[in-house]
Every structure is written in structure tokens, then in C-alpha cells.
Structure 1
Amino acid sequence: MSSIRTMLSLSACYDLEVEQMDVETAFLHVDLKEVLTWSNGKPERFVTRGKEDYVCRLKKSLYGLKQAPRQWYKKFKSVMREQGYKKTTSDHCVFVKRFSCDDFIILLLYVDDMLIFCHNASRIDKLKQVLSKSLAMKDLVPAKQILGIRLTRDRKAKKLWLSHERYIEKALQKLSMDRVKAVNTPFATHFRLSVKHSPSTEIEKEEMQEFPYSSIVGSLMYAMGCMRPDLVYVVGTISQFHSSPGSEHWNAVKWIMRYLCGSSNLKLCFGNEKHVIVGYTDSDMARDIDSRRSTSCYLITYVVRHVPCIVIVRVRFICWDIIRNKRHIDVRYHWMRDVFEAKMLELEKIHTDDNDDDMLTKTLSRGKFEALCLITDIEAFLI
């Protein structure tokens, strides 16, 4: 999802054409190399009298096969490679073809949905024609909705908005909470959730089974991952009790839904006048009641210069590699030192009152939370 947000933000800034295509029955386009047989549940037209015990060998992939997603990607990658496209190292589902310094076309694949970005609409048309020859495609023309997210655009103002309003409204309707009294923050300060709030008796466990805790948490996780960074902290908190939620945990979920009832129309906006990348990181310093561990998070605001963006993400992955593989710490350390000496990145201590990352690690007062929403939800995006 981060690749989609990044490309949409770049399209708003550079006024790129954004068009969408959908592959019809994507997994059925794939030829299988493995020998797979089908015996149980064969359609009647595949059953021959006297050969009822015969099995069918699959030549094409089917939905439900564990090989299907991988084989579909390999098929699509080969088609793109034949046309001179290269996959990016940071995301293998992003394909790029460059014609000159400022002339390029980028295709982003999400299972069977595609977003195509380019300055030149004629290049997009040519790519569509090529793909349609190899795959059964549905042309959705200018992108208006992807993965349940509504896209609204003002090209003159170089602004693009993402909305998850309809998705959130459906989630509220499932709980009959679409008309409840709304609250102003996703978490109240009195919530201090712990494993001690989990059911301790069989009766309590049976009572909690009546509530769709897991289903709602899953819906919230999708909304959070797509375009609602204001939900990061609260969803991370309630998901810790997924295996054994108690009444207090359920009260916290209902509070979050009340917050969404009043904020379902919040939109993520891309396209501002900032021309630098700003990354924030923060930790709540051992606030977990049960383990005394800290909750850490990072926030990266909109980027125009794509090179520093790649560097910051790469530094984050390298730091993770250092933790996992200390043998290469000297190589990683010197690489990062060179990056800082070249002034590709600059570290700066941010006072807690000015740290936009606070909303991702702790419960905040209404005033501070709303102030950060104006920055994080409206003018920035979470990578």
C-alpha cells in the first residue's frame, strides 16, 4: 500500500496521468509447469463412462492453488520484461520504463489491479494495447477507486484526495453503530488495556464469543494500513488481545468505532508545496502494562525528491539488518556514515510537543490529537 500512496502523491505533485486497468480472471492465464492432477469433485463433462477413476491433469492454474499467485506474478513479469520494463528493487510489483530524464511510465500491480502513471497519455494507451494482447484486460480509464479507496483529484491545484468513507460506513453498519454519538479521539485516556482484562471464567469467554471482535479488528487494520494513520496506535493496542478479548477490550473497540462515526469523511490529501522529506520517530517509553516494553513507530511525510525517500527507507532496512546480522555492522556503519557526510540525510532532535509521530505511539488529548491530524491526515502520509 505504501507504493500506491507514494505514486499517487507523486502524480499529484507532477500532474501525472493516472489510469487503471483490471485483469479479468488473472490466475487463469497461467500455464502450470508442475504436474497437478484433479480427481475429487470433477465436473460431469470431464467424466467419461468406464473411466470414472481417471484423473485430470491441470494445464492452467485455478483459483485456490497455492502456486497460483506466484505463477501469475511470473507470467506478468515476463510480459513486462518483454516490453522493456524493469521492476524496482524496493517493490517488485512496481515496473518502470524510462524514455528520457523526464519521460517515463510506471505501472503498479496489486494482485490483478493496475495503476499506470505517465506524463504522456499516448504511452499509456500503447501499454494498454500491448497488455490486452497478452491478457484479458478491463480498461477502467482514469482511476477513481482502488481497493475500496475513492480517489478525487483537482489537477489545477495539483491536489489528490483519498477517501475510505464508504468502507468505514459499511463497518459501522455491521455493528449498528452508524448513528451512535461520536467522540473526538480514537482512544480515551482512561483506557489502560491489559491481559488482566481478558476473560477468566468459561462464562465470560462464552459471553465474549457473541461479539465480532476479530472481524472488527481486521477491518480496522485494513483502514489503518490504507489511509488512516490516526488509527495506528489504537489498532496496534487492541490487536494485542485478539486471542482472548474481554469486555474492557470490547469497550475500547466500540470507542474507536464511535470515533470513526464522526470522522469517516476524513481524507488523505497529497500535493503540497513542501519539497523535502521529513521522517519522525518516537517511542512511548515502556508504557505497556504487562511487558513494560515500549511502542515505537515512524512517520514519513510527503516527498517530492524521490532519491532521499529511497535513502531513508533503505537506512531503515539496513538498521534492521544490523540487528539481525551483526557480522556486517562495519559495512552498514560506514555506508550510513557516508550518507550523512554527503548530507543526503540530516538527523535532528524534535521536542515532544513538535513530534508529529506522537499520535502513533500514545493516547493524546483532544487538542493535540486534532492538531496532529491536520498535519498527518491532511498534508502527509504514512509510509
Structure 2
Amino acid sequence: MEVPYGITNAENMMRKLDKAIYGLKQAASAWHQTIHAVFMKIGLRSCGADQCVYVKGAKGTYAYVCLYVDDMIIAAKTKEEINEVKMALKNAFKMKELGETKFILGTEIDHDRMAGTLMTKQTRNIDDVTNRFNQQDAKAVVNPCESGMKLTNMQSPTTNAEREAMKTKPYRSLIGCLLYITTCTRPDVAYIVTQLSRFLENPGQQHWKAAIRVLRYLKSTKDLGIIYNSKDGKVMLEAYTDADWGSNLDDRRSVSGIIIMIGGAPVVFKSKYQRTVALSSAEAEYMALILCTQEVLWTRAMLKDLVCRSHMSKWERHKHHFIRENVARDIVTVDYVGTEDQLADMLTKALGTKRLRFLVEASGIRPKPAQH
């Protein structure tokens, strides 16, 4: 740290900081400890399933605060409950109010109280990424990848000339943008983006073209989003899991796909390579089911936290008995879902346009209905 102006004869002296300064590695931790202490003081407690979600509840009324560094969303049934939390925070910090949440961290939030729906989408973010990579005039496509497409290391550069040619392509930046869009609101591109992220170290022309195609697809479907419906008033978890056995041509690892739905819309979705090589399709499906069960238990714990139930049963993470234990305890039930209705299918393989459209619609991912 530079010596402040006006201090002389301090060439061989050390400066001791009395508090954290923005940019230091300790600053983030110091800030979180500070705001966490304030939250606890005003009656908010952090959820065990997610330390950045805080809940305040008493006599059937709840207020929620979702924290991301120094940005936050406050939610409650009434404005009075929201104002109570805001006033308590204003007594501790200098705050800037931005009104009802419409946009946060690249995600647009459209809350239609008359229809009882809440939609999350990333139209603006997709437009920004499209312009950043000069694809604003690119031809639209109706599928993020060709049906049955496989990407391999064999398509990576093998000569210095090929590697030099790829240095002009901002592949890592593009994949980073696609991963963020995928994680927030777009499970329909999760499979192909997961595939593309394998080649960050040595991408080839085919990998670059495949990534650009995903961006062109997002551009043509930028108004799609996840629509949550509160009309039925039920909170019921439904989870779908699937596996594509030995689909990685480089090491023959399988792909697990899971999607967890609440009220007909996804809240958790993943496309993930399995850590070990499955020796059969049944073993691959079992590994995918383990991943799905773990995510169901996390989601269940999160829902319990949100209604202030602090005592949750412990569970054993033993690989071979994990699913059986939770079925026996009536925590989860396992049912067969036919291929036609398997929503996780789009998270494990490259599908044709007709099949993808069906699964996207069935997963609650659609544009906002037209107003009449």
C-alpha cells in the first residue's frame, strides 16, 4: 500500500490497515461477516442450504432476503413486512432503493400478479452477448446443435498453425457467457454448453462453430423464459433423471441429466459428466439417479429452511445405499418415466428440433403469453 500524501520519512516502515479495503482478498469475507451480523441482529437467519438466503419468520409471516455481495432482493407477502426489513437495514447501512425487482444480475423478472405468474428470462443479456460476439445479424437457427452431434478432442488443433488461428477466437469468453445464461434460465442448452466447456484448453474450429451456433439459437429464442405459476398453491417436487451411456467418445464417460420441477417449472437442472466410467447402461442410470436424489434432498432442505423449520433429519451419503435409504424413509419415490415424457432427455444428448421443442414446452420454458 502506498504511503498517504503528506507523510514523510516512512520509507522503511510498514502500514497497518485498521479495516479491510475494497479489492483486498480479505475484503469479501470481512464484508460478509459485517452484513451477516446485522442480519442476525434484526432477526434474519441464513438458510442452511444456501448461506446467502436469509429468512425472518414469526406467527406465519415471513420475510426473505437474497444477498449477492452488496445487492439484495427483499421479498414478503406485504409491503409492510418489506418496509420493516428495509428500515432496519437503513439504520445500519447507506442504501439505494431501486423499487420493485425487474432486473438483477442479468436476469429479467416479470411478476404478473393478476395472472399469478413470475417469469425469469435473459432477453437483454442475450442481446448484449450477441452484440459482443458480432452475431447480431447472424442467421437464426431452431436447434442449438445438430441431432446426434458428438464433440471430441480429435477436433482440437494439432499443429502450431491451427493453434495460432484459434488464438483470435475468444472461445473462453463465449463459453463463460453461455454458461451463465444456461445456469440461470436456459436448461434447453445445458447439454451442448456442458460439452463445449470440455475444450477450453485447446478448442478447435468445430468447437468454435458449435458455440456460435448455440448463441445464434439463443438469439432466435431470446424471449423464452421460465414461468412459475402460483394458481394451484401447491409446492410439489417432481424430478426427472436420465443418462446417456458412454457418450463421451474420448474417455467413454456417461452424461447425467437431471431436472427438478416445482409447479410445472424447473428450479434445478444439470447436465454433468459422470466421474467414473459406467460398465453398463444400468450403472449409468443409477449414477444419474444418485445425483438427482442429492439435488432433491438439497431442494427439500431449502424449502424447509424457507418456512423456518430448522430441524432437518440427517442422511447418509453412502453411494450404494443412498437411494434405497431415502426411498425407505419416504423422502423420495422412484417411478419409471417413458422416453417420450422424459424431460431430462434434453440434458443428456443432442436432440432433433421437434423433440427439443416438445421438451422445452413441457419443462415450462416458454415466452410470456400475449396480453388480451
TM range (shorter): 0.7 to 0.9
User: How do 1:223-262 residues align onto structure 2 when only pairs under 5 Å count?
Assistant: 223-262=181-220
Q: Does 1:301 align with 2:261?
A: yes
Aligned-pair distance for 1:256? 0.9
Q: Does 1:133 align with 2:117?
A: no
In structure 2, what is the equivalent of residue 119 of structure 1?
A: 77
Aligned AA (1:370): R
* Secondary structure class of the residue paired with 2:162: helix
Report the CA distance shift for 1:338/1:315 in structure 2 as closer, same or farther (over 3 A): farther
In structure 1, what is the equivalent of residue 361 of structure 2?
A: 374
State the Cα deviation string for residues 112-170 of structure 1 (Å, max 9, x = none).
11111111211211211111111121111211111011111210111111121111111
Matched-pair contact (CA < 8 Å) for 1:295–1:361: yes
In structure 2, what is the equivalent of residue 172 of structure 1?
A: 130
In structure 2, what is the equivalent of residue 95 of structure 1?
A: 54
In structure 2, what is the equivalent of residue 57 of structure 1?
A: 16
* Secondary structure class of the residue paired with 1:345: coil
Q: Does 1:355 align with 2:342?
A: yes
Report the CA distance shift for 1:376/1:169 in structure 2 as closer, same or farther (over 3 A): same
Distance 1:300 1:334 in 2: 19
Greater fraction helix: 1
Matched-pair contact (CA < 8 Å) for 2:326–2:332: no
Q: Which moved more, 1:70-79 or 1:192-201?
A: 70-79
Distance 1:333 1:245 in 2: 38
Aligned AA (1:63): Y
Distance 1:182 1:97 in 2: 46
Structure 2 stretches of 5 or more lacking a match?
268-292, 302-313, 368-372
Pairing partner for 1:292 from 252, 270, 273: 252
Report the CA distance shift for 1:93/1:315 in structure 2 as closer, same or farther (over 3 A): closer
Q: Does 1:76 align with 2:63?
A: no
Matched-pair contact (CA < 8 Å) for 2:66–2:73: yes
User: How do 1:160-239 residues align onto structure 2 when only pairs under 5 Å count?
Assistant: 160-189=118-147, 191-239=149-197
Q: Which moved more, 1:89-98 or 1:188-197?
A: 188-197
Report the CA distance shift for 1:310/1:91 in structure 2 as closer, same or farther (over 3 A): farther
* Secondary structure class of the residue paired with 1:140: coil
* Secondary structure class of the residue paired with 1:57: coil
Distance 2:327 2:149 in 1: 42
Aligned-pair distance for 1:321? 3.1
User: TM-score when scaled to structure 2?
Assistant: 0.81
Distance 2:325 2:38 in 1: 36
* Secondary structure class of the residue paired with 1:281: strand
Report the CA distance shift for 1:272/1:188 in structure 2 as closer, same or farther (over 3 A): farther
Matched-pair contact (CA < 8 Å) for 1:272–1:379: no
Distance 1:311 1:100 in 2: 30
In structure 1, what is the equivalent of residue 62 of structure 2?
A: 104
* Secondary structure class of the residue paired with 2:318: helix
Distance 1:219 1:290 in 2: 25
Q: Does 1:336 align with 2:326?
A: yes
In structure 1, what is the equivalent of residue 304 of structure 2?
A: none
In structure 2, what is the equivalent of residue 15 of structure 1?
A: none
* Secondary structure class of the residue paired with 2:98: strand
Pairing partner for 2:297 from 307, 313, 318: 313
Aligned-pair distance for 1:91? 0.8
Number of aligned residue pairs? 326
Aligned-pair distance for 1:367? 0.6
* Secondary structure class of the residue paired with 1:79: helix
Distance 2:263 2:21 in 1: 40
Report the CA distance shift for 1:175/1:333 in structure 2 as closer, same or farther (over 3 A): closer
Aligned-pair distance for 1:269? 1.0
* Secondary structure class of the residue paired with 1:142: coil
Aligned AA (2:296): I
Report the CA distance shift for 1:364/1:79 in structure 2 as closer, same or farther (over 3 A): same
Aligned AA (2:356): F
Pairing partner for 1:143 from 72, 76, 101: 101
In structure 1, what is the equivalent of residue 318 of structure 2?
A: 322
Aligned-pair distance for 1:319? 8.5
